[in-house]
């Protein structure tokens, strides 16, 4: 009965491959078997800054986790470094103990990120894709939790292949959807156009600029400096953006952005979100 329940839940996740709700369903599945405080998914393309794909942390914690990580600590992250190996790294489930040495607590990554975010333990999956690309799925616990147990790791290991297969399939479907409208434009061109036009028919010009900077991984302080406005004004713009787009988290903002990317070519210079809204209405 327990196995049937697990397989039913996995089937439920697999039906959403390529759709906007895939990571929410995968998070729900993992959460039903392993307790964690935060789950995030990053795309690692070579040695450049990771691209946040999904993050279930509330917006008030975005600066603490994602923005802080993208400022530079990612280069010291043993998971990111693993994806940079010359010999092709393998897709697998992982525990941080697999990468940490005895000197980890003396490392700059530990001091600049783990200590600041109060993370005490991390497990997840590394999904190696084609062309020096990877997806990393991370589940963390903070100081009010215990370390992940051996039973937790045994569960991840047992379902490692199927979860990595679903992550790979999800990425391939998204990649096909993004490139199906044009064989002449690469993913970077589509991303640039998507950022320039995202929600411009819904947001004011300043709100759209703030939304773009948020999607690029900037925290409130950076946005304030870049736009020469106060942090309070940035927070007000962020609230307005979330209200107008009818969302409450960074994960939902990024999901909307991914959804709008599918319509970039159709929208030309217009806002691809218009096509998204028309499709949903």
Q: Report the pLDDT value the prediction gives residue 279, as an integer from 0 to 100.
A: 40
Residues 238, 257: one domain?
yes
Cα separation, 215 vs 123, in Å, equals 25
Let me know whether 70 and 160 are in one domain: yes
Residue with tokens 């991984």, as numbered in its chain = 217
Structure confidence by residue, pLDDT tens digits, 208-239: 999 988 887 778 888 999 999 999 999 999 99
Same domain, 102 and 13: yes
Q: How many CA atoms lie within 13 A of 129 on its CB side?
A: 19
Give the three-class secondary structure for 95. Answer: strand
For residue 62, the domain's CATH number is 3.30.450.80
Can you tell me the mean pLDDT for 21-39?
91
Contact 133, 53 (CB under 8 A): no
Q: Is the pLDDT of residue 132 over 90?
A: no
Both 126 and 49 in one domain: the answer is yes
- Both 54 and 101 in a single domain? yes
Cα 42 from Cα 149, distance rounded (Å): 24
Confidence of residue 270 (pLDDT cuts 50, 70, 90): very low
Helix, strand, or coil (residue 229): coil
**Would you state the pLDDT for residue 265?**
47
Buried b / exposed e over 32-70, threshold 16 CB at 10 Å, is eebebbbbbbbbbbeeebbbbbbbbbebebbeebbbbbb
pLDDT in tens, 185-209: 555 566 677 777 888 878 898 999 9
- Rounded CA gap, 56 and 65, in Å? 11
Any idea how long the chain is? 281
31 and 166 belong to one structural domain: yes
pTM over 0.85: no
Question: Which residues share a beta bridge with 56?
Answer: none
The beta strands (E) that lie in 27-157 are given as 38-45, 51-55, 92-95, 119-128, 133-142
Q: What sign does the dihedral 245-246-248-254 (CA atoms) show?
A: negative
Q: Measure CA of the first residue to CA of the last residue in the chain; give whole Å.
A: 40
pLDDT at residue 183, rounded to an integer: 44
Same domain, 67 and 109: yes
Note whether 49 and 33 are same-domain residues.
yes
């Amino acid at each position: 009965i327990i196995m049937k329940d697990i397989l039913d839940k996995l089937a439920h996740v697999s039906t959403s491959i390529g759709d906007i709700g895939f990571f929410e369903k995968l998070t729900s599945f993992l959460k039903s078997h392993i307790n964690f405080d935060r789950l995030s998914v990053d795309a690692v393309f070579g040695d450049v800054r990771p691209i946040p794909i999904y993050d279930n942390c509330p917006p008030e914690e975005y600066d603490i986790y994602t923005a802080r990580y993208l400022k530079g600590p990612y280069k010291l992250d043993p998971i990111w470094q693993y994806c940079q190996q010359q010999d092709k790294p393998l897709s697998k489930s992982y525990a941080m103990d697999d990468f940490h040495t005895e000197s980890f607590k003396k490392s700059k990554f530990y001091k600049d990120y783990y200590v600041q975010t109060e993370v005490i333990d991390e497990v997840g999956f590394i999904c190696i894709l084609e062309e020096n690309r990877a997806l990393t799925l991370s589940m963390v616990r903070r100081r009010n939790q215990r370390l992940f147990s051996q039973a937790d790791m045994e569960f991840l290991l047992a379902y490692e292949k199927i979860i990595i297969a679903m992550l790979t399939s999800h990425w391939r479907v998204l990649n096909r959807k993004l490139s199906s409208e044009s064989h002449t434009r690469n993913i970077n061109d589509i991303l640039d156009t998507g950022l320039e036009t995202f929600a411009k028919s819904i947001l004011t010009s300043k709100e759209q600029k703030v939304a773009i900077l948020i999607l690029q991984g900037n925290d409130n302080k950076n946005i304030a400096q870049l736009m020469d406005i106060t942090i309070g004004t940035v927070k007000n713009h962020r609230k307005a953006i979330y209200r107008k787009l009818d969302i409450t988290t960074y994960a939902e903002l990024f999901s909307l952005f991914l959804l709008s990317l599918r319509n970039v070519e159709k929208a030309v210079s217009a806002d691809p979100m218009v096509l998204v809204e028309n499709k949903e209405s």
